Amino acid sequence: MSKKIAMVIAKEGFRKEELLVPKSILENAGFTISIVSSELGNAVGYPNETIIPIDLVFDEVSPQEFEAIIFVGGKGAEELFDDEQAHVVAKLFSKQGKLVAAICAASVILARAGLLEGKKATCFSLYQPDLERRKAIYTGTSVEQDDLVITASGPEAATEFGEKIRETLLEQHTTLL
């Protein structure tokens, strides 16, 4: 089994903590992270205009090569809410039984891709109506897991989110051994 994870960020406006905190937790657990976005180049996050190089674009991401895909929030994630390529990739991972996760605003991407219907989920409270319109069961908790979908509320939940993803993936490894 691969120990690779795809982390999706907006080209501009991703939330730094929502990327870097889970990324660090997962790298410390032995996972390799690839940064994915809608186009190559550098992505600019906030606060502090954090610069992150993008490794892959959506059509270069294959669920066979990764164990999980994580969508990072921040105001820039709104640019991906209706991005068809982001939806296709999220659905492919889900159909292949891979872990799909999102934090903050990025939970809306999963909702609009149809992956949260009937599932317990959370997000930044501003986006609660969007999740509920798409028939997600909004819980308002900091981190929520429903089967192989993990969602989180925002930057204050980044550590718990990263740990929940790590724990879930390591459990899968143990089960497969």
pLDDT tens digits for 129-152?
999 999 999 999 999 999 999 999
Domain count, the chain: 1
Does the reported pTM lie above 0.75?
Answer: yes
Positive or negative, the CA dihedral 103, 16, 158, 171 is positive
| Owning domain of residue 38 | 4-176
- Residue 98 is part of a domain; what is its CATH number? 3.40.50.880
Judge contact between 87 and 24, C-beta under 8 A: no
What are the tens digits of pLDDT across the range 96-114?
999 999 999 999 999 999 9
